Amino acid sequence: MKHKSATMSNATFVRPAKFYLSGFTNVPHVKYFYIFPCFVYIMTVLGNGLLLLVIYLDKTLHTPKYMTVFNLALTDLCGSTALRPKVLDTFLFDNRYIVYEACLTNMFFVWCLQSWTLVVMAYDRFIAICFPLRYHSIVTKPAIVAMLLFVWFFLLSLITCMVGLIDRLSFCGSVVIQSFYCDHGPTFRLACNDTSVNYKMGVFIFTVMLCFPPALIALTYICIAIALSRIASGKERVKAFKTCTSHLILVAIFFLPNLSTNIAALTSYIHPNARIINYTLIHTIPPLLNPLIYSLKTEEVLNSIKKICKKNGISSINLSKK
């Protein structure tokens, strides 16, 4: 499908006014599928919003560990909000055209920073188990803030560069994006001019965001396993390992579907609708489960929720008496 309305800066450069998102076409009963991500998005906002509020209100949670948890919840909330409402508007109400500038904005904001936040969390567990006596002197608030700020600055700079390179492309042919959002790969492949720089940038960002982090996390857990093997008591080994289980579950939920889908797409043929549904679940499930697995079920967070509720209950009673 070609869109007639396009702007031309010269005879060879074409910038379309709009792109057309073709995701979920020819999928039977697809409107019923939209109910699921809509429900999940509501639960994601509630779960991550509650976690952010609890950490903000309870000063006992203002620790390096919960600073990384706060950052994970924030990135989950931002990533879901950037993607989910637009997807529902696009397909539920059949608003499949998206303005060129809005498409680039969508492409920028859907990229998430969870992968490197999970690396920072792995670093926290590594120091806690391998250097327990030095934990509080190494893992400090300034150190975690510096690490998280570096992650945000470095990754956002890469994403800005990647999206900016789209602007140099000429789209003189089809403007149909084979995805449910302005995905980088399906978008730059529509261009008529040389896309080799865009391809290399895409591979580089894929490597930085989805290959390096699990490799670093695996390395930290090899070190943790070596440290645990030196503990004489089996009971103490199990107790130390239990502090890592929540993080390992999050790592598995985030990286395994991402890596398997991308590797399968590179090495074999995947039907576009199957790939799109896989990516929908990848963008939907982890942000929902992260606050449940890592924080809301922990005793510290549950005690903080009870304390905040009790404090607010007492305050409301005192106000009513006055």
144-158 tens-digit pLDDT: 999 999 999 999 999
Measured between alpha carbons, how far is 181 from 98 in angstroms, rounded to an integer? 9
The DSSP symbol for 286 reads: H
Measured between alpha carbons, how far is 315 from 154 in angstroms, rounded to an integer? 44
Is the pLDDT at 3 greater than 50? The verdict is no
Q: Which residues contact 102 (CB under 8 A, 6 or more apart)?
A: none
Is the pLDDT at 285 greater than 50? The verdict is yes
Pick from 65-74, 86-95, 187-196, 238-247: least confident: 86-95
The kind and range of the H/E element at 155 are helix 141-166
Measured between alpha carbons, how far is 34 from 41 in angstroms, rounded to an integer? 11
Confidence of residue 232 (pLDDT cuts 50, 70, 90): low
Determine, yes or no, domain membership for 29: no
- 209: nearest Cα among 259, 245, 265: 259
Determine, yes or no, domain membership for 24: no
Cα–Cα distances in angstroms (integers) from residue 173 to residues 84, 134, 186, in the given order: 28, 60, 13
Determine, yes or no, domain membership for 27: no
Determine, yes or no, domain membership for 18: no
Mean pLDDT of the chain: 83
Determine, yes or no, domain membership for 71: yes
Range of the structural domain that residue 248 is part of = 44-311
Check residue 150 and give its pLDDT.
Answer: 95
Percent of the chain past pLDDT 70, that is, above it, reads: 89
Confidence of residue 319 (pLDDT cuts 50, 70, 90): very low
User: For position 61, which CATH number holds?
Assistant: 1.20.1070.10
Is the pLDDT at 102 greater than 60? The verdict is yes
Cα–Cα distances in angstroms (integers) from residue 33 to residues 22, 40, 85, 277, in the given order: 16, 11, 15, 10
Check residue 112 and give its pLDDT.
Answer: 72
Confidence of residue 7 (pLDDT cuts 50, 70, 90): very low
Global pTM?
Answer: 0.84
- 247: nearest Cα among 65, 66, 121: 121
Q: Which residues contact 98 (CB under 8 A, 6 or more apart)?
A: 18, 19, 20, 21, 90, 106, 182
Determine, yes or no, domain membership for 33: no
pLDDT top residue among 235 and 45: 45
Is the pLDDT at 222 greater than 90? The verdict is yes
Determine, yes or no, domain membership for 25: no
Determine, yes or no, domain membership for 322: no
Looking at the structure of the chain, the number of domains it has is 1
Pick from 15-29, 160-174, 220-234: least confident: 15-29
Is the pLDDT at 17 greater than 50? The verdict is yes
- 84: nearest Cα among 285, 272, 254, 284: 284
